[in-house]
Amino acid sequence: MRVLLVGAGGQLGGMIARIGADGCDLHAADRTRLDITDAGAVREAVTGLRPDIIINAAAYTAVDRAESEPEAAHAINVDGARHLAQAAAAVGARMLHVSTDFVFDGRAWTPYAPDAGTNPLGVYGRTKRDGERAVMEAAGEHATVVRTSWVYGPGGHNFVRTMLRLIAERDEVTVVSDQIGAPTHTAGLAGALLALCEHPETGGRILHWSDAGAASWFDLADAVRAIMQRRWRHLDPGEVVPIFTEDFPTPAHRPPYSVLDCRAARDLLGCPPSWRERLEHALMRDDERFWLPASD
């Protein structure tokens, strides 16, 4: 099976490339090798390789900056996704497209099903929602959209690495406690995406995938601090203090609740570990160079 991985320079794409898969001829392209905003370049790359599957892990993910850079976010999250889906359809390839919980407004207080109505609150979520639609319109039954949430992993910019740095540097770190979601480690998500390569019956569907359980940003930060105390004993971690969203204004509005209903994907792939178990394994066992220093 020949797989074209797009977005290999990001934290998720890098993990997919790192894990690989048995029997998979994986061709990884970062943005220096393939600019997905260039329709001609995408068409040429896909026509030349003729992959069986395209995994699109490329995205504009700077949630707050997107509010002032809507064109840049649209170019990657919508136009880029459409170019890949059109090229996939032209050569008969399947496409796995990664999306986000930010397509929802957070007004529900039970996990969002894949067919729940979307209502993004900001530019990032809106462009990801429009990207989903573009992929489905272009590739139809050959496309699978996989929504996920609160992604973190070794390397790159993410909440866990930021907390490691701030908790190590400061006496006190304030973290929002009234936004609820499901933290997701890139290792589990990458494994799920590679496993879905073996499930062509998921074409034309939207699936949800996250680590098990739910948390607030405060819960996640507090768990990071507890693990820090055990692994990096030379550090003197600061206290993590809960605050409300209204006390920490940001350019982009975030859904107050965005837990995803992942039962359909878990019926296919099995249930992942809890987010706490996954975080513990990552921070206690990974090479610490993946996590410290966590500079932004």
* Active site positions, annotated: 124
Helices (H), the chain: 11-19, 39-49, 70-74, 81-91, 123-139, 159-169, 186-196, 217-231, 263-269, 275-285
The CA distance from 150 to 166, in Å, is: 18
Contact call for residues 131 and 145 (beta carbons, < 8 A)? no
In the sheet that holds 205-208, the strands lie side by side as 25-29, 2-6, 53-56, 94-100, 143-148, 205-208
Around 214, how many Cα atoms within 13 Å sit in the side-chain half-sphere? 17
Identify the helix (H) or strand (E) that includes residue 25. Answer: strand 25-29
Burial label for 43, CB within 10 Å (0-12, 13-18, 19+), is middle
Give the closest residue to 212 by CA, choosing from 249, 175, 261.
261
Contact call for residues 26 and 75 (beta carbons, < 8 A)? no
Give the closest residue to 7 by CA, choosing from 73, 54, 74, 44.
54
* Amino acid letter, residue 189: L
Sign of torsion over alpha carbons 266, 271, 277, 282: negative
* Other beta carbons within 10 Å of 246: 8
